[in-house]
Amino acid sequence: MPQPEPSSVQPYDEYNAVAGKAPNWLRSLLPRWFRQALNRSYWLFYDLRDFVAEATGWLPFHGLRMLVYRYLLRIRIGAGSSIHRGCRFYRPSAVQIGAHTVINRDVLLDGRMGLTIGENVSISEGVAMFTLEHDPNSPTFEHRGGAICVGDRVFVGARAVVLPGITLGEGAVVAAGAVVTHDVSPFTIVAGVPARPIGERRRDLTYSLNYRKWLG
């Protein structure tokens, strides 16, 4: 799958892009209280979108969840992929998932800066992938981040954390509980906090994942 370019877009830029569609002369005529109400309405919608995405994770039937994810929340999901119960999304419309990929329970996928997941990827329970964070050295605690790209046939172990701007190369393995702070080369196995290479994976991988539960 194509890799997204790292982005410097802040979460507020999405709001600014929407607000910028109104001509300047029109915005200048709107009273301050009305502009503030529009601003509050936008962020209410932003919160509502994330709430609906989280609530969808607890729908009891896998097929029903996939319908909501694809057609209401506009997540691009390839054929044969599955997303199990309890998963959460930030900005779901900016998440893309390839074919025959398995997202297990209680995974957090952050699409605020863009998240692309390839084909035949296995993401274990409790994994968190963040595309946006705060800069602890910023005097104003500013945001920083970048898109995450996960290559085909990557395996991410339980409770691992992938931080903003990371690329996991094709066939890479992230061990359970690892915290990934740098890109992982193709077919490399990493573990630890922060994650470091501990081995290599064979390169002749041909498997195709096809795992889902009716009530999963």
Active site residues: 134
- Residue 94 buriedness (CB in 10 A; 0-12 / 13-18 / 19+): buried
Residues 6+ apart with CB under 8 A from 100: 78, 79, 80, 81, 119, 120, 208, 209, 210
Strands of the sheet containing 179-180, edge to edge, are: 88-90, 108-110, 128-129, 161-162, 179-180
Q: How many beta carbons lie within 10 A of that of residue 75, not counting itself? A: 23
Euclidean distance between CA atoms 109 and 87, whole angstroms: 8
